[in-house]
Structure formats: C-alpha cells, structure tokens
Structure 1
Amino acid sequence: MAAALFRGRAASLVAGRKNVFSALQLTRPQSNFFAPVEDVMLPSGSFNNKVAFITGGGTGLGRAMTTTLSQLGAQCVIASRKLDVLQQTAEEIGKETGNKVHAVQCDVRDPQAVSKCVDQIEALAGLPDVIINNAAGNFISPSERLSPNGWKTITDIVLNGTAFVTLELGKRLIQKQKGASFLAITTIYAESGSGFVVPSASAKAGVEALYKSLAAEWGRYGQRFNIIQPGPIKTKGAFSRLDPTGAFEKSMKHRIPTGRLGTKGEIANLAAYMSSDFATWMSGAVIRLDGGEYVFISGEFNNLISVTPDQWKAMEAMIRNTKGS
C-alpha cells in the first residue's frame, strides 16, 4: 500500500515537472535580469596602429569580432574560402567604422594556401598583432552514421586549420621578434565531450591543447594564447546545421540559468578585451561565456529547479517518513 502510494506521488511529481518544464521552455523570466549590452566596451582607439587577422571573418561571430576591432581602431584582415562574401563584409565594415578592412581568400585546411595568405597579409598590412582563429565547421550526426570524410572535413577545418594558421604566423612572428595575441574560439563541449558532434568535440579539444601548450612554450617570444568557449549563440550558418528544425533552440533556454542565448556582440567584446593591451597578463586562459549552461548541465540534481514549492512539500514529507538507510 505504502509502495503504491509512493509510486503514485512520484508519477504525479514527474507529470508536474514535465508541465513546469514545458512552461519554462516558453518563458524564462529571469532573462530580464540579464539583458545583453552590446555597445563596444573598450575605450576608443584601443587598437590604433594594430593589425588584426580573423579567420572566418566574413560572417557570424567572425564578422562581429572584426566589426568591434575595426571600431576600436584596428586595421583588420579577414579570411575564408568565399572571397565574394569576404569582400562584401570588408566593404560594409570599412564604411561603418572608417577603418580599412582587407579581404584575403584562404582555405585553412591547406598549409600552402595558408602560407600564401600570410604572404598577402604581410604585403597588405604587415604581420598581425592580433590573430583570432574562428574558422570552423560542424554538423550533427549519430556517430554510427559518421563517414571518414565527415570526420576529416571537420577536423581539417577546426584542428588542422587552426594549427596551420597558428604555426605559420607564429614562426614568422618569432623570426621578426614581434609579439602577438592569439585567440581561439572553441565551445563548452570541448571540455566535456558531446555525442552527435564527435568530430567537432575532438577537434576543439585539440585546439585547446594546442593553445595551452603554446602559451607555455612561446611566451618567451612575446606571444600569448587564449581561448573562448561560447555557449549557444544563434548564427545562421551554425544553427542551420545544428538545429535544422528549430526544436533544439526552444528547449535550450531551459538549461541556461540566465534564461537566454548569448549574442555576437558579447563574444566580440570579450574577444576584444582578451586580445587587447588590457589583458597582457592573460595567457593559457580558457574563458567560458555561456550564461551558466555548462555548470547547469553538469550538476546531477540541477533539473530539480523545475519542482514547484507544493511538490517540494510533498517530497519533503516523503523523505522525512523514509525509514532505514
């Protein structure tokens, strides 16, 4: 009798939690406390007389970071495979900020193309003071359906591409005795791993190991290496491959304690700070900017946030009446 009553109460609690979960999917009122501020954070002129190189700079986060650095005075060079997109972005940002933005075509998967790209950067603006490795690729797939080509496509862009760009530029900077700030954009699951995006998780984890290693080894040459792990930020390219139906976005906010997705401007401000002279003592750092998502999904009991006060009363009564160990 007692066992049946316990099961009945438990089922009721589960049903109640599902209803609360559905409601929280639709409205996350705490987001009112955490409204984003996307104005440029650093003082005007913080990047005057500096050159910034951003891979994947034509769209999404790359474009946002380029815009912010250009607004702060940097002469920016953006690179990706699609030259037409790059040229349009460079022209638009240049008009907006009044600072020159150069577009250089580059397939980061090809070390020879990377070497030619760096030749162009040197000819256009000189070796950069700021390097942001942002170029990436990703798609969702059950690992049992993953092909060798699918694995290679992502790891070539993310891990090999970052390594080719970093090593090519790093060696030239060392030769010229010039310091620089390197920044890599990874993801929170580089730390935890994640099913269904295994090539990306593996490659991003490799990028983090690369940057931590070089922070230790190449600091003596005036180079520093840092990492940003963004949480979910809606960009057209990423969400079209990772959330094609839109269903994931609807449930995503439930597991973000601040109740909202991040914005491109927030990442751009953090990237600018970490790449600036205000952060010269920062190297080997991994900064997570995710609204608390990582700590929420990591805690075994954090889903109890959806239990109502009345349900807690019922559970507390059940717990107090439990006998034995």
Structure 2
Amino acid sequence: MTKSCFAPDALAGKRILITGGATGLGRGVARHLVDLGAEVHLWGRRPAVLDESAIEASVSRPGSVHWQTVDVRKADLVDAAMDEIWTKFGPLTGVINNAAANFIAPTESISARAFEAVTSTVMGGSFNTTHAAGRRWIEGGTKGVVLSTLTTWVWTGSAFVVPSAMAKAAVHSMTMSLAVEWARYGIRLNALAPGPIPTDYAWEMLNPNEKSSVGATQADQIPMGRMGTIEELANLTAFLLSDACDYLTGQTIAMDGGQMLAGPGTFAGLTSMSAGDWEDARERSKTASEAAKAQRGV
C-alpha cells in the first residue's frame, strides 16, 4: 500500500477543479485530494455518475466535493460553469485537465466525426478550461495552477491512437507555452504522463483483444514489472498542486515505471493484428461500452 508523505491538511484552503472527474483517474485522484483537505469540484456530462463520485470522494473525509454537468468541448458552457464556481465558492486555486476520449483503431478506418470526438475533448476541452480559469486569475490578480493529464505519447507518438496522441501533444505544447506567458502572473502549468494505471472501462477500451501483446498496457513490458496505482498518481498530483513547488512550471513529468525509457509505451505491437482481429476488437469495445453504460444506468 502506498503511503502518503503529506500532512493531513496539505491542501486545506485549496479549491481544485477536475474535468472528467466522474470516472477513471479523475475520480480516483479526487478522493485523495479531499483526504488532504481540498475543496474539489468535479465536471462531467452524466449527473448520476458525478453524484456517485462526489459521495464516494467526500464520505468521512476532511475536504468537500461539488459537481456540475459541463461539456468541456463547449467554451460557453465552460465559461458559465466557471462563473458559477467563482460566484458561489470563490476563485479556484487549481485545475486538472483530465477529461479525455480515446479508442484503438487503424487510422485509415477513423471517421472525421470520431477524430473530432477525441480532439475536441482532449485539446479543445483542455484549452477551454485553462483559458476560462486563467483569464479569471489574471483579472483577479490571484495565483493558480493548471495540471494536465497526458501520456508519454507526447514525446514518442503512438500508432493506432493517432487522434489522442495528436491532441495530447497539443496540450503538452500549451503547457510549455503558457508556462512562459503566464509565469509573471503567478500561474504555473505542468502535466503528468502516467504509465498504465488500470481503471474501469478505459482499460477495456485500450485492450482490443486478450491475445494481442499491447506494449502500452502490459506489466511485463514495464521495467518495474507492474502497473502504476491511483495512489501514486494522487501523491504526485497533490505535490504539484501544493505550495511546495512554486518554482516548477512548464514541465511534463513521466511516471511510468521506466516504460518509456525501456521502449516507447505505444501500441506498435498491434501491427500484427489481422482484419478479423480488428473486427473482434470493435465488438469487444462495443460490448465494454454497453456494459459500462448499463452499470451506470445511462
């Protein structure tokens, strides 16, 4: 079990927004931030799942959790939701750009609509949220921290997830660019590139079939010989959102058990899949998606 190195009130007084906070990594990290005293705001598109996540994150914990239904792809909706937070609760101190969309597929088979679904969420959503918070910080003369969830594909690229790789590389570039532009306002921007950390649904979508050797999701291809954990990701997240590293900005930090250094953690191994394998993969993804929706009552 991973131990925390933080004081119980390390994030007391912090007001942190997590986009895509209803499921996966965002949901897991939220409860750890609340453990450290933070007031956490969750954004997502499904009210029932957001409410469930908020209850889970706040039970018997010192911090508090609030949620809003927000489609981060829509700049006007993001702006309105930011206004509501500023008005009801006060300025945010941190933003985690975690909302994402991804799927595995041969790039030649991807439709324009599918490409847009991924890039508008990852790239557009991250910009909309960062821009809305940053403008308010600058206008109010307050400091802020932006932390984006990326992958090591921002350095290596990755076959079969090209829309996601492109969009996350754009957010990597935004992180470096705005770190310089907004440093004078006391606004820091960093990003995390975690290795494989299993979560419901997302893990199914990134494992097209049981027989394939997928380098990005297999523990035996990670030098440490295991997957990462939510707790480890949350510890690094808390540090970057805290006041303990005010001089750190513009960096994307890989936390992947040495995977990228040993050989890019990409889906290159899927080049061996046949057309029949890809058809099976599509059915597997469809089944996983329908099961997840049924479980959440969607």
What is the TM-score when the length of structure 2 is the normalising length?
A: 0.85
The reply to whether residue 258 of structure 1 matches residue 224 of structure 2 is yes
For residues 57 and 271 of structure 1, what CA distance do their matches in structure 2 show?
A: 14
| Counterpart among 81, 88, 108 of residue 117 in structure 1 | 81
What is the aligned residue count? Answer: 263
Deviation at 1:190, TM superposition (A): 1.5
Q: Which residue of 2 aligns with 1:276?
A: 242
1:213 Cα deviation (Å)? 0.2
User: 2: CA distance between counterparts of 1:147 and 1:178?
Assistant: 42
CA distance in 2, matches of 1:184, 1:69: 16
Alpha-carbon spacing, 1:127–1:298, altered in 2? closer, same or farther (3 Å): same
Q: Following TM superposition, by how much is the alpha carbon of 1:70 offset from its aligned partner in structure 2, in angstroms?
A: 0.6
TM-superposed deviation, 1:191: 1.1
Greater displacement, 104-113 / 245-254: 245-254
When normalised by structure 1's length, the TM-score is 0.78
Alignment of 1:69-88 (within 5 A): 69-88=33-52
Residue in structure 2 matched with residue 199 of structure 1 by the alignment = 163
Task: Tell me, in whole angstroms, the C-alpha distance in 1 between the residues paired with 2:77 and 2:212.
Answer: 36
AA aligned opposite 1:278 = A
- Provide the secondary structure at the position in 2 that maps to 1:97: coil
Partner SS state of residue 115, structure 2: helix
Are 1:60 and 1:264, in contact at CA under 8 Å, matched by a contact in 2?
Answer: no
- Report the AA paired with residue 189 of structure 2: F
Where 1:183 maps in the other structure, the secondary structure is strand
**Could you tell me how far apart the structure 1 residues matched to 2:197 and 2:89 are?**
31
Instruction: Return 5+ residue gaps in structure 2 as ranges.
Output: 266-298
Q: Read off the aligned partner of 1:149 and give its amino acid letter.
A: R
CA deviations over 1:275-308 (Å, ceiling 9, x no partner): 1111111101111000111011159xxxxxxxxx
1:287 aligns with 2:253: yes
Preserved contact between residue 190 and residue 205 of structure 1 (Cα < 8 Å): yes
Does 1:148 find its partner at 2:112?
Answer: yes
Asked which structure has the greater CA Rg, the reply is 1
What is residue 198 of structure 2 aligned with on the other side? 234
Q: Secondary structure at the match of 1:215?
A: helix
More helix per residue: 1
Question: What CA distance in whole angstroms lies between the structure 2 residues aligned with 1:60 and 1:41?
Answer: 23
Residues 66-98 of structure 1: CA deviation (Å, up to 9, x unaligned): 111111111111111111111111122211314
Q: Say yes or no: does 1:100 pair with 2:97.
A: no
Aligned-CA RMSD value? 1.6
Q: Kindly, what percent of the aligned residue pairs are identical?
A: 37
